[in-house]
Amino acid sequence: MTDHAFFMAKAYDQALASYQSGGVPVGSVLVRGGEIVGEGHNQRVQKSDPIAHGEMDCLRRAGRQRSYRDTVIYTTLSPCMMCTGTIILFKIPTVVIGECVNFGGNEQLLRDRGVNVIDLKDPRCIELMARFIRERPDIWNEDIAE
């Protein structure tokens, strides 16, 4: 049995690191066979990189993988269209989401493409993102292209 709470806590730590360094608090962890393959966080602000979302940073840090079909990606916030497309492209079979209260991503699109989507409704993820949106609406709106 996979310990979703354990790996989401690791993703949350990444989100918190981003928040503490002035960035958007989204963290992600890629797991294979109960082991972390890669972890990362949103670095759009820190690196001035418009595509450095949490999931993208995590996948970059994981490096090249022969296949993703035996992995699970954890993300503190529901994936945006770009990250959703990457998950579908790489055929990652399961996405565990910390929350989709503050931002409803593309859960149904993922499901329609055969991806198992698990929403943990994690209170820490919900609160951290809500806090960030209150404190930095300008950066949040930039992040979601509003």
Closest by CA to 76, choosing from 109, 121, 45, is: 121
- Report CA 104 to chain centroid distance, whole Å: 12
Contacts of 3 (CB under 8 A, 6+ apart): 34
Among 39, 55, 99, 107, the one annotated catalytic: 55
Backbone angles phi, psi at 84, to 5 degrees: -60, -45
39 tagged catalytic? no
Structure tokens at 93: 């079979």
DSSP string, 53-117: -HHHHHHHHH---S--TTEEEEESS---HHHHHHHHHTT--EEEES--SS---SHHHHHHTT-EE
| Residues annotated as part of the active site | 55
